[in-house]
Amino acid sequence: MAIKISGTTIISDSRNLDYYGEEYYDNSNTGSSCTINLQNGNFQRAVLNSNCTFTFSNPTNGATSFTLVLYNDGTAGRSITWPTSVKWPNGSTPVRTTSANKADVYTFFTYDGGTSWWGVLSLYNFS
């Protein structure tokens, strides 16, 4: 099926546009390891209350994305270890906010069902 505007074809394939909405999930405190389970939702929150190693699980097949809002608890300077499958712009993990009680927002994309992820520090240093 094609969609036409003023006689010009702008979409010409058999894909359907389905309802799209964000599913929110609160991971609460991360502890020393935190699994971001994408079956829980594609907009997730977590509070970094320890140095933490993250894991991503259960992405959909093919292409998908999710947003992670990561808060720091009342202690400054916590560290993060991301999955090795995450690729960052210019091959460098971004410098994040390490101040107590601040938050950063990350966006992650995959085109191959989670074999590799592209990560972006989308928003920085919110209180």
More confident residue, 3 or 26: 26
pLDDT digits (tens, 9 = 90+) for 65-89: 999 999 999 999 999 999 999 999 9
Predicted confidence (pLDDT) at residue 7 exceeds the cutoff of 90: no
At residue 21, the pLDDT reads 74
Whole-Å CA distances, 5 to 8, 10, 11, 46: 5, 7, 10, 44
Q: Please state the pTM of the whole predicted model.
A: 0.83
Tokens, residue 110: 């995959």
pLDDT digits (tens, 9 = 90+) for 53-63: 999 999 989 99
The mean pLDDT of the chain is: 89
What is the dihedral sign for C-alpha 14, 19, 21, 27? negative
